[in-house]
């Protein structure tokens, strides 16, 4: 089994949420069934395809953990495309056309105005050929051969080729559109499955006839529902949300992948720690036909849950060199991103500014400073400290805990104080309490 994902040039050269989702589903399907995951880079547009674009795709995939088994660049395969194009031309399955884009658009409007489908109208074989225009090329659909297949997500599909326009496969400047080269690649590389968006369904219909014209069987297709923004609009703005944005924001790759593997399916969106675990539960039977609503807030929630379970070994390289496993475990429950940990190191082992407390709070902290020198620090020092202060002052609830947290950590909120006190230690706690009482 070999499944393929295809990337074409984008304005940024980075992977956005839509094509990450498609690549992920191809990857998971291949992984679950012991197949190969092939990356095809559609770099036939030489103006938009650059070395930097290629490197950005590979960099993003590596960060996501979606490493392809094979990488194919269509710009390396032009000789194969020419050979198969000549075969189709000799068989009468491709033909030259000379209309300008403006002429085609005008004819489209005329047909729509008459209530007719805007299908390209073939010219007679003896139609005059303009002397001043280079030809572009279309694949000639067989109008007498209904197109049918069973989609892995959409179920039985049937198209009447008479209601489809003969697809353009080559531009007037000789460059290729992706339709025919992709079919030639799929045949030559032994692609068995193609997973892509449902906006390609009619393209797949035309390509099925291209496979047949080249004497090959088409791969199995799975057309997933479109990805839309949470507010329900087709998400052009999602094009700016992707791997680069996530990396800059310090989001774990598996947070994004956990969300994209499950939205639009009957399975719950929840944090999944590994690609192996995602692959085990991956099944097109779970996929729905309704648009998949993507909300970046879901990624943030899943990311926080993943961080809360990350072992020290998994994050060691991202933490300050002096951080210990005990430090990580004390702070981890309060983090939403691993990068936020560094800000807690001064609280654990450094110096903090004494907070500005009111008169009552300073009096309470003064009692705490005295109690901190007498309690047993070998077991549950936070409970012993708060019990002593409560007994001396009568304070309880927020009036007790908030001033102590502020004085000891310099922060209004954070991880459980019991764990923090053990990491900060007796001497530092006493110093901080005394400093806050004197301010």
Q: What is the mean pLDDT of residues 202-221?
A: 97
pLDDT at 51 over 90: no
pLDDT at 100 over 80: yes
Q: Give the C-alpha separation, 24 to 51, whole Å.
A: 23
Q: Where in the chain is the domain with CATH 1.10.10.350?
A: 351-438
Confidence (pTM): 0.85
User: Percent of the chain scored above 90 by pLDDT?
Assistant: 73
pLDDT at 311 over 50: yes
Q: What is the pLDDT of residue 234?
A: 43
- Using one digit for the tens of pLDDT, what is the confidence trace for 135-175? 999 999 999 999 999 999 999 999 999 999 999 999 999 99
Confidence of residue 132 (pLDDT cuts 50, 70, 90): confident
Q: What is the pLDDT of residue 235?
A: 46
**CA nearest neighbour of 225 among 153, 323, 152:** 153
Q: What is the mean pLDDT of residues 115-119?
A: 87
Domain 351-438 has CATH 3.40.50.300: no
User: Domain 241-309: which CATH class?
Assistant: mainly alpha
Give the residue ranges of the annotated binding site for ATP.
Answer: 236
Q: What is the pLDDT of residue 58?
A: 86
Q: What is the pLDDT of residue 92?
A: 95
Cα torsion 325, 331, 333, 339: sign: negative
Q: What is the pLDDT of residue 117?
A: 86
Give residues with Cβ within 8 angstroms of 311, minimum separation 6.
none
Read out DSSP for 255-277? Answer: HHHHHHHHTTBSSPP-----HHH
Q: Where in the chain is the domain with CATH 1.10.1160.10?
A: 241-309
Give the residue ranges of the annotated binding site.
Answer: 236
Q: By mean pLDDT, which of 177-186, 216-225, 230-239 is the weakest?
A: 230-239
Confidence of residue 49 (pLDDT cuts 50, 70, 90): low
Q: Strands 136-139 and 36-41, how do they pair? A: unpaired
Q: What is the pLDDT of residue 236?
A: 46
Q: 423-427 long-range contacts, Cβ below 8 Å, gap at least 24?
A: 423/326, 423/327, 423/330, 423/348, 423/349, 424/347, 424/348, 424/349, 426/372, 426/377, 426/381
């Amino acid at each position: 089994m070999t499944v393929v994902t295809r990337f074409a040039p984008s304005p940024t050269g980075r992977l956005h949420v839509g094509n990450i989702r498609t690549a992920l589903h191809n990857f998971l399907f291949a992984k679950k069934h012991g197949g190969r995951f092939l990356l095809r880079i559609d770099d036939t547009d030489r103006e938009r395809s650059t070395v930097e674009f290629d490197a950005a795709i590979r960099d993003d995939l590596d960060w996501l953990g979606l490493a392809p088994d094979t990488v194919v660049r269509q710009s390396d395969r032009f000789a194969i495309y020419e050979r198969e194009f000549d075969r189709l031309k000799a068989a009468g399955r491709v033909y030259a056309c000379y209309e300008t884009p403006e002429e085609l658009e005008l004819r489209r409007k005329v047909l729509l105005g008459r209530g007719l489908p805007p299908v390209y109208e073939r010219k007679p074989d003896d139609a005059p050929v303009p002397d001043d225009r280079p030809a572009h090329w279309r694949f000639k659909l067989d109008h007498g051969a209904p197109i049918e297949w069973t989609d892995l997500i959409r179920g039985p599909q049937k198209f009447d080729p008479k209601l489809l326009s003969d697809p353009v496969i080559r531009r007037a400047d000789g460059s290729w559109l992706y339709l025919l080269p992709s079919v030639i690649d799929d045949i030559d590389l032994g692609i068995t499955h193609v997973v892509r968006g449902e906006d390609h369904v009619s393209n797949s219909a035309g390509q099925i006839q291209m496979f047949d014209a080249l004497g090959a069987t088409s791969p199995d297709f799975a057309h997933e529902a479109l990805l839309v923004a949470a507010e329900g609009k087709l998400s052009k703005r999602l094009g700016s949300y992707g791997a680069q944005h996530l990396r800059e924001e310090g989001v774990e790759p598996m947070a994004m992948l956990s969300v994209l593997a499950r939205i639009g399916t009957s399975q719950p969106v929840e944090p999944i720690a590994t690609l192996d675990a995602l692959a085990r539960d991956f099944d097109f039977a779970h996929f729905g036909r309704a648009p998949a609503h993507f909300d970046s807030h879901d990624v943030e929630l899943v990311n926080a849950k993943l961080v809360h379970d990350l072992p020290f070994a998994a994050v060691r390289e991202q933490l300050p060199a002096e951080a210990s496993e005990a430090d990580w475990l004390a702070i981890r429950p309060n983090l939403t991103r691993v990068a936020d940990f560094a800000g807690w190191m001064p609280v654990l082992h450094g110096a903090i500014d004494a907070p500005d407390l009111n008169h009552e709070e300073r009096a309470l902290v003064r009692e705490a400073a005295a109690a901190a020198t007498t309690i047993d620090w070998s077991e549950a020092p936070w409970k012993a400290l708060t019990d002593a202060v409560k007994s001396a002052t009568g304070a309880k609830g927020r009036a007790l805990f908030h001033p102590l947290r502020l004085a000891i950590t310099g922060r209004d909120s954070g991880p459980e104080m019991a764990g923090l006190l053990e990491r900060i230690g007796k001497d530092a706690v006493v110093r901080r309490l005394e400093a806050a009482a004197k301010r």
